[in-house]
Amino acid sequence: MRRNRPSDKAGWTTLPAEGRAGVAPVFPLEMMTPREDELWVDLWSRPQAVAWEALEQTYEVALFVRTLAQAEKPNARVDVQRIIRSYLDSLGLSVQGMLRNRWKIGPATEADEPALAPEAAPRRRASARDRLKVVPRDEGA
């Protein structure tokens, strides 16, 4: 059942659609692999990274990156994949996690939206009446 209480609207954090600006923080764990570096840079450019920075979740994100790199391997254990799902939710990287953290992505600015060619007015679909054909009496079956 859906609730529409005023208190439900309070407390939501709007994250910028363009993501977090700037370079990623220094990876806090030892021995970063090239794949971890790719994941680290990608994650810190996302909208959720604005909240992680405010909440000082650098270590949590680093542990997620390390675990995700392990889970991507073909022989990854199932329990590692379950941990990934938990991280996705706690870091707001899944829909469920966004809802649980009460985060939403703000509207994209015009600069972020791809330039689209102006569309022609949509053609009106012919109604059933327009599709019917009048057949004279003598031409009928």
Note the Cα 58 to chain centre separation in Å: 20
Domains of the chain, by residue range, sit at 13-110
Q: Which residue has the higher pLDDT, 138 or 124?
A: 138
Computed over every residue of the chain, the mean pLDDT equals 86
Q: Which residue has the higher pLDDT, 99 or 112?
A: 99
> 10 Å Cβ neighbour count for 93?
18
Q: Which two tokens stand for residue 126?
A: 């012919």
pLDDT interval class at 138 (50, 70, 90): confident
